């Protein structure tokens, strides 16, 4: 019985020492963690203090540099303040009060080190205005500039009326005897002057672009045709006329009368010279010789080079119109702008691939 009691007491002592050792180890762990956290916090605060000191150092250096030179000498007040500031002891011990310029020490949760910014100083007064500077020497006169580029040619004006001193009865007789006619391709009116009158407006027509035969001329058909009594509707003769369409992959025309030309049908106008007996198409010219009157100007156009149809060249007005409601790729006769090809054609004065202009003149 006595041996049983001794064994029981020994077990109790063993349990007690086990709990004591475990508690001691736990306290040591907790104490180590707390000490580590305290050291980390103090180290972080010290780093923050050092950064703030560096920032204030930079600010003070910037202010000193901004002051006038005569106030920055070794004996100036600013230099003395800087010397005193540099000589101030800075403690790196977290248990002491940390003091430095422009800061006030505040006790933090684990000692000194929490800081707050000091109040901003008041603005200084404006300095006295300095004397006016002396005028500098007169600069050297520059060389004359290069001549400017030529200006863009303005729009062509309307043709003026020619001075006609003949008696009215003579002019009426000459009008009755008739003058030469010409076709204004791409327009439905004649030029706006008294020496030309409209005979009729119509549609430009020609042979189909891929046919080997047929007419080589472009013909201006009127809008009100007359028919013979013996007509026979159907394909009976083997020669045909088709409407003419613009083909302008490159479009140099003016668009004051039509925004789009591609695939539209081409109109035309037959014009009669009232008091002039001769007209001529001047290719590659934008204007007429002296004493000639300009009827209209534009671009030379004809059929495509690889198509079977061969056609005469016509002068299409520089500001063409279109037949209303005709924008559809129906083929038929086709008009392309004529371009020069160097080789057998002399270049210069001509340019390879450049569009050929034209002017219709009368006299």
- Whether the per-residue pLDDT at 291 is higher than 60: the answer is yes
For residues 300, 302, 305 and 307, what is the CA-based torsion angle, rounded to 10 degrees? 170
Structure tokens at 320: 């063409």
Q: Lowest-confidence range among 91-105, 281-295, 327-341?
A: 91-105
Nearest to 255 by CA among 336, 322, 337: 322
Q: What rounded mean pLDDT belongs to the chain?
A: 77
Element (H, E) at 157: none
Indicate the pLDDT class of residue 148, thresholds 50, 70 and 90. low
pLDDT at site 287: 94
| Residue whose tokens read 């863009």 | 152
Does residue 83 contact residue 73 with C-beta atoms inside 8 Å? no
Nearest to 287 by CA among 352, 217, 357, 212: 357
- Whether the per-residue pLDDT at 288 is higher than 90: the answer is yes
Indicate the pLDDT class of residue 126, thresholds 50, 70 and 90. confident
Indicate the pLDDT class of residue 102, thresholds 50, 70 and 90. very low
- Whether the per-residue pLDDT at 88 is higher than 80: the answer is no
End-to-end CA distance of the chain: give it in Å, rounded: 159
- Whether the per-residue pLDDT at 80 is higher than 60: the answer is no
Does residue 278 contact residue 288 with C-beta atoms inside 8 Å? no
- Whether the per-residue pLDDT at 36 is higher than 50: the answer is yes
Does residue 219 contact residue 314 with C-beta atoms inside 8 Å? no
175 CB burial (10 A radius; 0-12, 13-18, 19+): middle
Alpha carbons 165 and 172: distance in angstroms, whole number = 13
Averaged over 169-190, what is the pLDDT? 73
Q: pLDDT by residue (tens digit) across 294-337?
A: 999 999 999 888 888 778 899 999 999 999 887 777 788 899 99
Averaged over 105-123, what is the pLDDT? 54
Q: Judging by DSSP bridges, how do beta strands 333-337 and 242-247 pair with one another?
A: parallel
Nearest to 186 by CA among 304, 271, 250: 271
Nearest to 339 by CA among 318, 363, 361, 313: 313
Q: Lowest-confidence range among 80-94, 229-243, 322-336?
A: 80-94
Residue 29, by phi and psi: left (phi above 0), alpha (psi -120 to 50) or beta? Answer: alpha
């Amino acid at each position: 019985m006595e041996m049983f009691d001794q064994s029981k007491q020994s077990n109790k002592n063993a349990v007690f020492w086990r709990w004591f050792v475990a508690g001691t180890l736990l306290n040591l762990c907790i104490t180590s963690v707390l000490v580590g956290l305290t050291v980390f916090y103090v180290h972080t605060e010290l780093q923050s203090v050092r950064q703030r000191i560096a920032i204030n150092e930079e600010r003070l250096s910037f202010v000193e540099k901004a002051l006038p030179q005569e106030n920055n000498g070794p004996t100036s007040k600013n230099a003395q303040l800087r010397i005193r500031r540099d000589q101030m002891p800075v403690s790196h011990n977290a248990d002491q009060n940390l003091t430095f310029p422009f800061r006030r020490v505040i006790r933090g949760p684990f000692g000194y080190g929490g800081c707050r910014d000091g109040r901003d100083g008041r603005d200084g007064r404006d300095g006295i205005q300095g004397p006016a500077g002396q005028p500098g020497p007169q600069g050297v006169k520059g060389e004359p500039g290069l001549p400017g580029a030529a200006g863009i040619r303005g729009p062509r004006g309307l043709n003026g009326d020619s001075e006609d001193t003949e008696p009215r009865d003579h002019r009426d007789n000459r009008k009755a005897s008739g003058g030469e006619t010409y076709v204004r391709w791409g327009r439905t009116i004649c030029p706006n002057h008294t020496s030309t009158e409209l005979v009729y407006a119509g549609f430009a027509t020609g042979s189909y672009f891929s046919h080997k035969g047929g007419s080589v001329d472009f013909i201006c058909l009127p809008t009100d045709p007359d028919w013979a009594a013996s007509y026979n509707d159907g394909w009976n003769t083997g020669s045909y006329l088709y409407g003419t369409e613009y083909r302008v992959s490159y479009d140099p025309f003016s668009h004051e009368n039509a925004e789009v030309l591609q695939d539209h049908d081409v109109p035309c106008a037959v014009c009669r010279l009232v008091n002039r007996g001769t007209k001529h198409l001047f290719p590659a010219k934008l204007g007429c010789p002296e004493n000639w009157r300009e009827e209209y100007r534009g671009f030379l156009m004809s059929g495509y080079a690889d198509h079977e149809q061969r056609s005469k060249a016509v002068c299409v007005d520089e500001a063409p119109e279109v037949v209303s409601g005709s924008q559809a790729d129906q083929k038929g006769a086709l008009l392309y702008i004529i371009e020069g090809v160097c080789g057998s054609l002399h270049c210069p004065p001509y340019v390879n691939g450049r569009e050929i202009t034209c002017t219709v003149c009368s006299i």
